[in-house]
Every structure is written in structure tokens, then in C-alpha cells.
Amino acid sequence: ELTIELTLTDKSGKVIDKTKFPIQQRSATIHHERTFLSKVDNSVQYYSIAPALGAGQKALILSVHGASVEARNQARAYKQKDWAHIVAATNRRPFGFNWEDWGRIDALEVLAEAKKVFNTIPEQTYLTGHSMGGHGTWFLGTTYPDKFAAIAPCASYPDISTYGSDKGDEMHDIFKAYGSIKRSANSGRVKSLVQNLKQSGVYILHGDADSTVPISQVREMRQILGTFHPNFCYYEYPGGEHWYGDHSVDWFPIFEFFKRQTIPANKEVKEIDFHTATPAVSATDYWLKLQQQIRPFDFSNINVKLDKQQITVKTENVSIMEIDLPSLHLNGEITININDQTLKIAADKKAILALKDAKWEFINDINTTEKYAERQGGFKFAFNNNVVFVYATGGSASEREWYLNRARFDAETFLYKGNGSIDVVADSEFSLEKYKDRNVVLYGNASNNRAWKLLLESSPIQIDNQQIKVGDKVLKGNDLAAYFVLPRKDSKTALVGVVAGTSEKGMKATWANNYISGITGFPDVMIFKADLLLNGLPNMQVSGFFDNNWSAKTLEFNP
């Protein structure tokens, strides 16, 4: 055990506080923890390891825990294996984000970190999890079908939306404004993406006496998989409750099943049936990449078949896609038949296909000023990419106090829910160069936040203390509030999120920050009256998604 002394100083070097704390130093050959820096907020996160026994290159198994479970306890439920490292991510907290949103990002960051640290066998990568982590297994497995050779959900439920009750959507479907909100959560609709699992092995384990997650959840999935999947196993543990010992997860047949599965090389994949709700979450599947949708956050499908020198493509809700031809190791000229239109290209070139005026054509590069895979939108996506919160220092004393406290409240909420460490700075301290290529969440409007002009001068949405202008339409009132997201103009990847109101009444309408949650959907834009907090969706004024050029033409105005 080591004792670490931590000293906090101000800019002049004056000591403000000191503290000491112990840390345990453990052998790398037994269960232990490691840390890394997250790209979400540059914070230190940990993951836990059940390292493989013996030397040599090993397989990698990512394990995702259930609600209230620490990653260190998840890893210690597994005995060490002689053929694979077992790595447990945190979901950013024991409850975290249901392995969606920032929980999803944590799982991917841990997966990438563990592959690098342990130099694992790339084609032998697997996924398993229990309870909420069982949902995470279904979700991550359907979302990233080319990352895992096989998955094993234990005591699982597929969709949060249908876990416990499936009536939530029905209650709100009568409201026009709910359409885009519901659509923005499509990436978590596992049953709509389940065809992706055709590419991976699946082992389902569930106790038949589980009173926490009903057995009906996986019996339905067994029935769905049975209609198309050639490679899945299903086992109901007799008398098993939700947790019936470490073998609830450390189940020998799962690992024997995993051993028989491998991820094929790109050149070995001759057919892909890829489903996704948005390239912001899931863009690639082997040698395919979806760059842009016709309808953002609606379901897209790309079906491709490779036969010698010809690739046949069928698409739904796709406007730009890529085919990584060089990774297929073909020669000569390739014929691409896409939606019954024929195009030809050399085999050593990446094929970027764009739909223009109902015709497909090749383009040389992705236009990064438009929506594309690395920058799509969805308000919650602003809270990523080493995000910085910038609060207003203009306006009245109550405005200044509100926006400072609001930014701190969001940062502390992210700390509480997601073990986050987000920089909170005044607009007077913000500069484009100092915070280059970082996402920004701006608290305030054009009248009181001086960073507005730097970041949002050309925004199709303009907000001051009297009105909100959306394109060529003006909404007047002192009780209007808004959440929206736009690209940062001086960056190819960064986003700007906005939390703003037209006055004190409007700004206080943004109090509920349930966008820092793993079970909520937020489109690009939500503009609402303060009475939304009382009356609900009838007081939503504008909602929806910017078009692919980030214009307001496709936003929905609600009477």
C-alpha cells in the first residue's frame, strides 16, 4: 500500500489544501484495476481486470455490470482463464447510464484501452454482461456487430423502453412534438437492430425463477433470433433467481462457446446486412460506413453482397456511404450496383457514394461542414469531446447568478451520475484557440453570453431576452427556453450545445437537466414555453432535427 499526498494550489502557487490517501499496489497477474483518461471530459476513469493466466497473446472478453455493481466486483466474479483477459468497464458509475450514451462511450474506451495494453488477439474479442449489463450486452452487440465475435447476455432485457412497461411511448404519441424526441432515442431500440446479430454468435443465460428481470424478456429474444439466426445458444438455469452465485456470469458453457467464435477479416466477409439508427452512435460494419442519413436518427439499412468483382447494394434512409474497397484485397475494376444503378471504380480506391437528386454518384471527400458520421447532432452529443461549459457573465445580477449556478449544477450532475470532471469557465475566459476543437455547452443567450458571437453568430437559431428567431420565424415572449446543438464553425469535429432562455422566466424553464441520463432522447432542437414543466408537450414550440446542411428548414413548429 502506498500513501499519496495531494496538494491544491492557486495560480500563484499558494497552498489552498492538502490531503493524503492510500492506494493499493497489486500484481498485474491477479485481479486488479487500471486507469485511463476519458475523451469525454479528460477525467480519470478505471476498469477492472481478471488477467489471463500464463504468458502469450490472449483473447479479450469485455464484461459489463448490472445496476449498483462496481466494476471491481464484476471482474472478481470471474475466475481467471488461461486463454482470455476479462475486462470490466464502469459505465462511469455503478448505476451510470444503462450502458447507453456515456456508458456506451466508456465501454468503447475501455475496450480500446485493454486491446492496446494487453495486446490481445483482435479476432478473439467477446462481450458479456449481467442484468443492466445484460441489456448493455444486447445494446453494444447490436450496435457494434463487427467488434465482437460473440456475445452472452445474462439475466438480461433487450430494450429499456419495454422493460417493465411498454406504455410510455403510447402516452405521448398523440403529441406531434413527441415524434422527434422518440426518434432521437432510436439507437437504444435493440429489437429494431437485432438483425445485426446475424454476424455474431449469441449465448443467452437466464435463471427461470428470476423475479427481477422476467424470463419472458429473453424468451421473446429467443423467438426473434430463431427466425433468422444460425448460431445461438439458449439456457434457462433451473430455479435460478436474478443472481444465484458467481456462475450467474462465470458460466463455463459461455466461455466454451466463445472459444469457437472468431471475428472474420474484412476480405472474408461477403455479405453484410447493417442496421443503425444514427452514424453518430453506429456508423461502421466491417468494410461499410454510413456517413449521412436522409432522415437523421431514423432507422437506416445497408445490405451488400460481394460476388467476385461485383458489389450489390440495397439501401434505406442513406444519403452518403463508404465502401472500404482496399481492405477487400480485390484487383482491377469493381462494379457497384446500388439500388439498381450501376457504377464502376478501381479496386484500390475507397468508394464514397452520395445520393444527389435521386441518383448515386462518387464523391472524392466528405464535406465536414455537413452532418457526417463524426458530427451528426443530437443535443446530448454536445456533452462529449473534452467538453467545456461556458456560462454568461452579462445581463442582470440574477441572470449571472443563474447561469453560473446552472453550469455548475450540470457539471455536478455529471460528476454524480457519471464520475465526470468538466471544466466550467466564464464567457470572459473563453477563446477559440484556448479551447480548440473541444465541444462547448454555452449557458446563456446572445444578450448575456459574450461567447455567443464567437460560436453562434451565424446560427439559424438566435436568442435574446425578448425572442427566439428560428430561420425566418420569430417566437416572442419572456417565457421561452431552448436546448439545441450546432457544429462549431472553427472545427471539423466539435459541437456547440446551448442551454438558454429569453429572460429569467425562460431560463428557469431549463432547470430540468434530464439530458444527463441514459434513458432520454433529445433531438437537435427543443424550444418550449416555461409552462412545459406544468403542462408537458403541448407547450413544446419547436422540435426536431436540422437538415444535413444544419439549416432550420426541417424543424417542426408545433401550434
pLDDT tens column, 63-74: 999 999 999 999
Is residue 511 predicted with pLDDT exceeding 90?
A: no
Q: With pLDDT > 70 as the criterion, what percentage of the chain qualifies?
A: 98
Q: Is position 153 within any domain?
A: yes
280 and 236 inside one domain: no
CA 255, CA 133: separation in Å to the nearest integer? Answer: 17
For residues 281 and 257, state if they share a domain.
no
Is 14 within the bounds of a domain? no
Residue 278 and residue 256 share a domain: no
Strand pairing class (440-443; 423-426): unpaired
Q: Is residue 157 part of a domain?
A: yes
Within a 10 A sphere around the Cβ of 16, how many other Cβ atoms? 8
Do 244 and 283 fall into the same domain? no
Give the position of cell 477487400. 328
Q: Is residue 6 in a domain? A: no
Report yes or no on 373 lying in a domain.
Answer: no
Mean pLDDT of all residues in 85-92: 99
Query: What is the phi-psi region of residue 94: left when phi exceeds 0, alpha when psi lies from -120 to 50, beta otherwise?
Result: alpha
Residues 186 and 309 in one domain: no
Query: What tens digit of pLDDT does each residue of 347-400 get?
Result: 999 999 999 999 999 999 999 999 999 999 999 999 999 999 999 999 999 999
281 pLDDT tier (thresholds 50, 70, 90) = very high
CATH code, domain carrying 187: 3.40.50.1820
The pLDDT assigned to 362 comes to: 98
> Above 60 in pLDDT, residue 518?
yes
Say whether pLDDT at 33 is over 80. Answer: yes
Q: What's the confidence (pLDDT) of residue 1?
A: 82
Q: Is residue 18 situated within a structural domain?
A: no
Q: Is residue 4 part of a domain?
A: no
Task: Encode 377-442 in three state secondary structure.
Answer: CCHHHHCCCCCEEEECCCCCHHHHHHHHHHHHHHHHHHHHHHCCCCEEEEHHHCCCCCCCCCCEEE
Same domain, 87 and 190: yes
DSSP 265-308: PGGG--EEEEEES-TTT--EETTEEEEE-SSTTS-EEEEEEEET
| Residue that terminates a domain, selected from 263, 284, 307 | 263
What pLDDT sits at residue 210? 98
> DSSP secondary-structure letter at 375?
B
For the stretch 132-168, pLDDT in tens is: 999 999 999 999 999 999 999 999 999 988 886 555 5
The pLDDT of 216-245, averaged and rounded, is 98
Domain count for the chain = 3
If pLDDT is split at 50, 70 and 90, which confidence band does 127 have? very high
Q: What local confidence, expressed as pLDDT, does residue 165 receive?
A: 58
DSSP secondary structure string for all residues of 527-556: EEETTHHHH-GGGEEEEE---TTS-STTPE
d(CA 377, CA 554): 14
Q: Give the domain extent around 392.
A: 379-557
In this structure, are 300 and 435 located in the same domain? no
pLDDT score, position 275: 99
331, 299 in Cβ contact below 8 A? no
Residue 427 has pLDDT above 60, yes or no: yes
Q: For residues 160 and 305, state if they share a domain.
A: no
The pLDDT, as a whole number, for residue 280 is: 98
Q: What is the rounded CA–CA span in Å between residue 23 and residue 426?
A: 35
Residues 287 and 241 in one domain: no
Average pLDDT over every residue of 211-233: 97
Is 12 contained in some domain? no
Q: Are 76 and 136 contained in the same domain? A: yes
Dist. CA 259–CA 72, nearest whole Å:
24
Quick one: cell of 367?
464535406
State the maximum Cα–Cα separation within the chain, in Å, rounded to a whole number: 71
The pLDDT value given to residue 137: 99
Q: What is the number of other CB atoms lying within 10 angstroms of the CB of residue 183?
A: 20
Across the chain, mean pLDDT equals 96
With a pLDDT cut of 90, the percent of the chain lying above it is 91
**Does 347 lie in the same domain as 271?**
yes
pLDDT at 166: 57
| pLDDT band, very low/low/confident/very high, at 169 (cuts 50, 70, 90) | low
Comparing 124 with 164, which gets the higher pLDDT?
124
Mean pLDDT of 437-459: 98
Higher-pLDDT residue of 194 and 534 is 194
Question: Using CA atoms, how far apart are residues 290 and 512, in angstroms rounded to an integer?
Answer: 34
Last residue of a domain, one of 209, 242, 263: 263
Last residue of a domain, one of 263, 294, 325: 263
Q: What is the CATH number of the domain that holds 396?
A: 3.30.379
* Same domain? 429 vs 396: yes
